[in-house]
Amino acid sequence: MMKSKFPYLIAALVLIALYVGDEQRWFRRVHAQSGPMPQAECDKLRDKPDVAAAKACYTKLTQSRDPWAIAEGYLGLGNMGSANTAFQAAIAANKKDPVRLTRWGQMYILIDQPKDARDCFEESLELDPDYAPAMMGMAKVLSIGYDGEATKWAEKALKADPKMYQAHELMAQMHLEDNNEAKALEDAKNALQIAPNDALQAMAILATIEQMNDRPGKEWLDKIFKIRSNYGEAYETMGHFFVINRRYDEGIAAYRKALELKPDLWTARAELGVNLMRFGKDEEARMQLEKTFNEGPAPSLLIVRNSLKLLDSYANFETTTTPRTILKLQKKEAALLRPYIQEEFETALTTYEKKYKFKLDGPVQIEVYPDHEDFAVRTMGMPGLGALGVTFGKVVAMDSPNGRKPGEFHWAATMWHELSHVYVLTMTQSRTPRWFTEGLAVYEETAVHPEWGDRMTPREIKAIKEKKLLPIADLDRGYIHPSYPEQVIVSYYQGGRVLTYIIDKWGFDAVLKMIDGYKNLKDTPTVLKDALGVTPEEFDAQFFPWLEKDTKTAVDGFDNWTKRLKDVAASAKEKQWDAVIKDGLEIRDIYPDYIEPANVYEFLSQAYLGKGDKPKAITQLEAWAEHGGRTPATLKQLADLQMEAGNKKAAVSALEKLNFIFLKDEVAHQKLGTLYMELGNPKGAVREFQGVLGSGTIDQAGAHYNLATAYRAVKQNDKALEEVFASLEAAPGYKPAQKLLLELSAQ
């Protein structure tokens, strides 16, 4: 559930509710029955510095006999529980009034209940399909969740009421979220033409555009504060845009300014607390969140409650630091994860420092969450969010390898993806559009290892076939305000292919030039012209034919492949191995990227094993792994087959792939550690035998003994002795450990 980020729209929404369409005679009759908006005078007082007068006005409303007035009074006082009860009574008293239903929906927006809000707006529109404020309510609800359909509802509201400047304001907000300044400017100015002294949100958008471009925006701020001196919502708007553009320091500063003007702007205080928390400033974060929880509207914002719970859970984490890394792991899995994550962490930093020709000025922090709900709280409210990791400046939060179903999460690829963000965002001071940073990070996953990155799935094939990919100038919109359910994921894929194309054609130095251009606040058309020598239109004219050619076999053959794959599956079920092999080999290379369950590679391997041909079975599984196959059981099967065939190095490769997918597998660690010892890699064996212990093995004596032998092989006899003693403590009569103790003592 997303939280409402724009409380400055409360006043706008009140004004929306005041609107009555002159041309709608039926609604005039209903409105006459309802009477004037009971809270209108109180709202005027609320928007002035004299807070006490507004509070007294709202309190007086709660003493009315009219349940609608009571509801509005409690709403103004922030007592949402009582307001909700009163709204129920008000609507029961007049079930044909869309105004009351719309106001109730607006209340639900304020308390993070978008589904209930949407229900209210839909019921209101059933009563009056042309009621513009309810349409505007629908637009607002959808915009909170970054749903592209919000624009359509705002346009409907404008059609019903051309004077509804709030619809222009909302569209300006959404365009700016899409990084489309030109359209944002146009809609903000349209709002001001309609309501030059009331469209404060439009002025805030215009001031935000100025500040996003490192200009003060003083003209618009002065105008806002001349009209309403305590309009902290202007700075809250800036804070929102700084944060979603990952300019967190500036966002935090903006939220502080908002609270200086309006200390009871609780959504700004909640956002301040959440963003302080993102930077590890937990003490002040807790203070801001608790103040919001204790003094803000009841029930408090969901993100506030959940963030406070998450802060409490930090007592269960432990932190490891080096000069350039901070690794935060939950205690129950730290022993298992630390050796693997720390090693990959250091490797990625070293690689990126050289590749991006940039040295970070401080350590990078990675937080790993075994409970996905904790990770979700950590990242709540971020648009276009990948479900596995997120970057806040030099802080990365990500799911734990143990926090997801085995095989569905490649933790190392996620880490490299997010650490690419750390470098690019730091280098540019977060001035890059989302398509570029995400596209480059997706590219980097496969640059590390070709099988790491996500493959082209049926959803991307469908998007390519239906021409749903976006031109480069509009690509940010696919991440922020998707127009169809899978567009965010498709946009990640497209961004990765765009960067692949750029690097293939112009080289990685072109990427560095683009980074430098964005750092200097150049827009995408200018950056493309300077770095690549093309306009956005020229780029699209080159990129799309390249992509279509590259994917043509899979896209054109997908329907046939789908049909015949079902035949292969049916043959495999009946153990008709010859049919599986014949049909499988014919269709496998139509769509070689498909490595999900029920894939051709595994069917072919199964068939070859059924016919007793293990070498060919191995070949199919190796091809599956090279294309990014991630099912743990299949990787272990491949390793076992390779060991049976005497190919220990290949088995090591398969088990190493497993480590990047699922770490809590004692048997796999034991096998890999043993193979490392046999192949003369005792350093790797140390890590794997530590993994056996971290997996919670029952055989403590054997695990400590194996680790001792590995330490001895790398000439760390002191640690070897510690492990021998641990082995003998677990099993005093364990003879291999007794013998090793004597040998170490002699040395």
More confident residue, 647 or 23: 647
pLDDT of residue 669: 97
- 110 falls in which pLDDT band (50, 70, 90)? confident
CATH code for the structural domain at 554-746:
1.25.40.10
Rounded-to-integer distance, Cα 673 and Cα 169, Å: 61
Torsion of CA 550, 552, 558, 564, to 10 degrees: -90
CATH topology of domain 1-166: 1.25.40
How many Å apart are CA 331 and CA 315, to the nearest integer? 9
Residues 304-327 have pLDDT tens digits of 888 898 899 899 999 999 999 999
> Are 27 and 127 spatial neighbours (Cβ–Cβ below 8 Å)?
no
pLDDT reading at 485 higher than 90: no
Percent of the chain with pLDDT over 90: 80
Asked if residue 693 has pLDDT above 60, the reply is yes
> Prior bond to 299 cis, omega within 30?
yes
Cβ atoms of 374 and 310 closer than 8 Å: yes
How far is Cα 694 from Cα 661, in angstroms, rounded to an integer?
A: 16
Tell me: pLDDT of 33 over 80: no
Distance CA 77, CA 62 (A): 9
pLDDT band at 278 (very low <50, low <70, confident <90, very high): confident
Averaged pLDDT for residues 286-294: 94
Largest CA distance in the chain: 103
**CA nearest neighbour of 491 among 474, 482, 500, 478:** 478
Altogether, the residues listed in the chain come to a count of 747
CB-CB contact of 491 with 512 (8 Å)? no
Q: How far apart are CA 386 and CA 488, in angstroms?
A: 9
Confidence of residue 34 (pLDDT cuts 50, 70, 90): very low
**CATH 1.25.40.10 domain extents, the chain:** 1-166, 554-746
Quick one: pLDDT at residue 21? Answer: 30
pLDDT on residue 49: 63
Q: Residue 324 carries which DSSP code?
A: S
Supply the pLDDT for residue 35: 47
Q: Quick one: tokens of 167?
A: 């619809």
Contact 656, 688 (CB under 8 A): no
Selected residue with higher pLDDT from 91 and 16:
91
pLDDT tens digits along 544-585: 999 999 999 999 999 999 999 999 999 999 999 999 999 999
652-681 pLDDT tens trace:
999 999 999 999 999 999 999 999 999 999
Kindly write down the DSSP assignment for every residue of 18-41, as one continuous string: H---TT-HHHHHHHHHH-S-TTHH
